[in-house]
Amino acid sequence: MKESPVKLTLNLLLIMIPIAAVLWWTKASPILVFGSAALSIVPLSKIVGGATESLAVHIGPTLGGLLNASMGNAPELIIGFFALKNGLLKVVKASLTGSILGNLLLTLGLAMFVGGLTHPVQRFNVRSARMSTTLMMLAVVGLMVPALFHFSSPAAEHEISRKIAFILLLVYGLSLIYTLATHRKLFETAGPRELNLAQTGSWKRALLNLAGATLALAFVSEILTDSLEPATKMLHLNAVFAGIILLASVSNVSSIMNAITFARKNQMDLVVGSVIGAATQIALLVAPALIFASLFTSTPMDLLFTRLEIVAVAIAVILVNNITFDGESDWLEGAMLVAVFLMLGVGFYFLKVE
């Protein structure tokens, strides 16, 4: 069977792994090292996602959904951990913000725009979208609390963050039980799930692909985060912009391509469910997980985000909630989401970080 141009391009990008390693070991320009490592993460993220989907088919819908939820943002989690190990706290927190904004505004916006050019009105499961946006609003509250109590009790920042992280993880676990068990039928869609990767190979092959890609991802993430700080200094970028635009965008490229592909096929249930779901996982799963993972590093992380980051995420959640409220989308709504992302990007570029 002939491979698609997109899949062939992703496979060719795997050559960037040894190139990034050689550039890293030879202490080449940090910009070249970062660029090659970033390009190699794109196909690895795609392999992790494909292997996860394949395993999900073999183990059944309930456990498969749990696996997808757990591994959906593995690249962000791995990259974030290595960035924490290198002491890049501001970059890690900015990358979390960037992943949320990238999913809610850029990825969803591009999917709605491209899909709307072919299909004037596209429809999706409004209940699923509402639940995800409500969970995101809960996450915004979780981000606001440490900032609200920062000035009154600065010494308790880490303790407050750990307790909030535990609550967010608990709510995320309850949401999985709700969607995968007690109210599963409410979130089932009538359309076919065109997951071609899930139809290839046995579960053993999928497991080997997942393990190999995860190990390679960890190796490349070490290179990426090690070169990030000197690269951003050479490019005269602030840490928040580097995390939101550079680091977050790297792991979202394959998600953007998938979302656009599904939107063109008029499978907006898949688009909305996966994109908003991914943003929810970042806020309720990845961020709390990194809080607890940071306890094993020399730089404990907190949930104290900048005011602009909190406001930006709140704006994105409110905007997406308004656009998805009627269960329909068109190209103009997609264009508006992308426009908001670009405006926020301009703001983060000129943000002064202490």
Count how many Cα atoms sit within 13 Å of the Cα of residue 99 in the half-sphere of its side chain: 33
- Residue 354 in domain: no
The number of angstroms, rounded, from the C-alpha of 188 to the middle of its chain's C-alpha atoms is 23
The reported pLDDT for the residue numbered 19 is 94
Tell me the per-residue pLDDT of 76-97, one tens digit each, with 9 for 90 and over: 788 888 888 888 888 888 888 9
**Radius of gyration of the chain measured on its C-alpha atoms:** 19
The reported pLDDT for the residue numbered 197 is 41
Q: Which two structure tokens, joined as six digits, stand for 15?
A: 């050559």
Tell me the per-residue pLDDT of 154-172, one tens digit each, with 9 for 90 and over: 567 788 889 999 999 999 8
Task: Count up the domains in the chain and report the number.
Answer: 1
- Which amino acid is it at 30? P
Q: What is the CATH number of the domain that holds 301?
A: 1.20.1420.30
Q: Residue 183 is part of which domain span?
A: 5-349
- Residue 16 in domain: yes
The reported pLDDT for the residue numbered 23 is 93
The reported pLDDT for the residue numbered 67 is 66
Q: Give the whole-angstrom CA distance, residue 332 versus residue 31.
A: 36
- Residue 59 in domain: yes
- Residue 307 in domain: yes
The list of the chain residues with pLDDT below 70 reads 1-10, 56-57, 59-72, 150-155, 186-201, 251, 353-354
Looking at the DSSP bridge assignments, the partners of residue 36 are none
Tell me the per-residue pLDDT of 121-155, one tens digit each, with 9 for 90 and over: 999 888 888 888 898 898 888 888 887 776 566 56
- Residue 166 in domain: yes
Tell me if the pTM is above 0.75. Answer: yes
